């Protein structure tokens, strides 16, 4: 069992618009326009906005921000299967507002972003990584391997579903949708016995006391970019590039480049469950990848080491390793009809 300490994070002040100034004006006293930051409107998204804002203001205290929330397709449609909704369902509307100049920056959970961005947009910064692992919450407060027969565990992620069915065959995996707090509440209802969620979201929301087990990233492999906040900007926006440069984490960038390169080799998304997690280990970058059939019966894992400054080569080596293991049919299947791994 892991620690139950709750993290202290600022609470969002609203879901439509907020600014770091007391006057709620859209410009600073010096007349410099406030930075227009866009994000989704969930409690977690607004806390993530504050994480980014606080980091940026620590370097440039005079900066002011307006936060505009946008409802994405993934937020509006709470009934469709995520596996059938395609890629970018939690980011496309934000990206459109960036392209139209309505926003200066957009804050995303990197795992929600397709590997291929729209022309005219780029990743302006990747911040320090929060815990990348998945976690199990359940009514018995027990680890995964001690769940009773027939335990009803919620997830809508194909990757989590496959790994649950492979590692915990006694459980029943049920679809579950909604924000982190919504899914957590559902997991505590009479319809479920638990759920698998991202550790980062519960940590940022101060809900670590609900965690029954942190799942090993080497055994229960996360999706590319999990735990990373990404700031997207327009290509060539030098003002935003300069503002964001102090919060860029080079180690995170190397890791997520390897993870996302592996996903890109599979077509930018995946028709089959896939995971990829990279971590610096001294002078090497260690990449763990996972690929499985939807029912979890066929699972392939590989762990490779390479140079941090060659993350794409490491991703390609991981792909070739899975081919050698016999995953060719699944790899070919993954190139068609990409899907989201988000919940």
Structure-token pair, residue 196: 């698998």
Give residue 51's pLDDT.
97
CATH topology classification for 134-214: D-Maltodextrin-Binding Protein; domain 2 (3.40.190)
Determine which one of 49, 75, 104, 112 is catalytic: 112
pLDDT grade, residue 269 (50/70/90)?
Answer: low
Give residue 14's pLDDT.
34
pLDDT digits (tens, 9 = 90+) for 21-46: 433 344 445 567 899 999 999 999 99
Domain residue spans of the chain: 17-127+228-249, 134-214, 255-334
Which residues make beta-bridge pairs with 234? 121
- Radius of gyration for the chain, computed over Cα atoms and rounded to the nearest angstrom: 20
In the predicted structure, residue 293 carries a pLDDT above the cut 60: yes
Same CATH topology for 17-127+228-249 and 134-214? yes
Give residue 17's pLDDT.
39
pLDDT grade, residue 148 (50/70/90)?
Answer: very high
Of 3-7, 59-63, 149-153, 231-235, give the lowest mean pLDDT range: 3-7
The CA distance from 172 to 182, in Å, is 20
Number of other residues whose CB lies within 10 A of the CB of residue 98: 23
Give residue 329's pLDDT.
85
Higher pLDDT, 272 or 191: 191
The CA distance from 28 to 322, in Å, is 54
The CA distance from 68 to 241, in Å, is 20
> Mean per-residue pLDDT for 298-306?
96
> Mean per-residue pLDDT for 129-144?
98
CATH 3.40.190.10 fits 17-127+228-249, yes or no: yes
Give residue 343's pLDDT.
65
Of 104-118, 233-247, 267-281, give the lowest mean pLDDT range: 267-281
What element of type H or E holds 219?
none
Phi-psi region of 112 (alpha: psi -120 to 50; beta: other; left: phi over 0): alpha
Instruction: Specify burial of residue 192 (Cβ count, 10 A radius: 0-12, 13-18, 19+).
Output: buried
- Write the CA distances from 154 to 46, 80, 213, integer angstroms: 25, 15, 15
Average pLDDT along the chain: 88
Q: Name 58's Cβ contacts closer than 8 Å, sequence gap at least 6.
A: none
pLDDT digits (tens, 9 = 90+) for 303-335: 999 999 999 999 999 999 999 999 988 887 766
**Residue 256: strand, helix, or coil:** helix
- Concerning whether 145 is annotated as a catalytic residue, the answer is no
Answer for the pair 90, 72: CB distance below 8 angstroms, yes or no.
Answer: yes
Number of other residues whose CB lies within 10 A of the CB of residue 50: 20
Give residue 84's pLDDT.
67
Q: How many residues does the chain have?
A: 343
What percentage of the chain exceeds 70 in pLDDT? 86
CATH topology classification for 255-334: Double Stranded RNA Binding Domain (3.30.160)
The CA distance from 50 to 148, in Å, is 40
Which residues make beta-bridge pairs with 285? 280, 306
pLDDT digits (tens, 9 = 90+) for 200-214: 999 999 999 999 999
Give residue 25's pLDDT.
44
Give residue 76's pLDDT.
87
Higher pLDDT, 43 or 12: 43
């Amino acid at each position: 069992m892991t620690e139950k300490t709750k993290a202290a994070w600022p609470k969002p002040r609203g879901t439509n618009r907020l600014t770091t100034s007391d006057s709620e004006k859209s410009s600073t006293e010096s007349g410099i326009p406030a930075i227009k930051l866009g994000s989704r409107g969930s409690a977690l998204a607004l806390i993530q906005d504050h994480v980014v804002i606080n980091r940026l203001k620590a370097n440039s205290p005079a900066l002011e921000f307006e936060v505009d929330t946008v409802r994405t397709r993934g937020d509006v449609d709470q009934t469709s299967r995520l596996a059938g909704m395609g890629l970018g369902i939690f980011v496309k509307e934000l990206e459109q507002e960036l392209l139209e100049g309505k926003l200066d920056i957009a804050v995303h959970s990197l795992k929600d972003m397709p590997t291929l961005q729209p022309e005219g947009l780029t990743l302006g910064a990747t911040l320090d990584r929060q815990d990348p692992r998945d976690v199990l919450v359940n009514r018995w407060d027990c680890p995964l391997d001690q769940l009773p027969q027939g335990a009803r565990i919620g997830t809508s992620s194909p990757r989590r579903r496959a790994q649950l069915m492979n590692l915990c065959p006694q459980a029943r995996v049920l679809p579950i949708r909604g924000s982190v707090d919504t899914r957590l509440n559902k997991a505590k209802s009479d319809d479920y016995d638990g759920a698998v969620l991202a550790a980062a979201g519960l940590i940022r929301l101060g809900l670590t006391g609900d965690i029954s087990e942190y799942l090993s990233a080497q055994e229960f492999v996360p999706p590319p970019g999990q735990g990373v906040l990404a700031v997207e900007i327009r290509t060539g926006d030098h003002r935003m590039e300069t503002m964001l440069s102090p919060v860029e984490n080079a180690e995170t960038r190397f890791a997520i480049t390897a993870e996302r390169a592996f996903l890109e080799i599979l077509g930018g998304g995946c028709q089959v469950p896939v995971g990829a997690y990279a971590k610096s280990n001294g002078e090497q970058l260690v990449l763990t990848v996972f690929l499985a059939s939807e029912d979890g019966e066929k699972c392939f894992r590989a762990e490779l080491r390479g140079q941090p400054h060659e993350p794409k080569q490491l991703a390609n080596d991981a792909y070739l390793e899975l081919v050698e293991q016999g995953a060719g049919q699944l790899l070919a299947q993954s190139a068609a009809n990409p899907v989201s791994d988000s919940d």
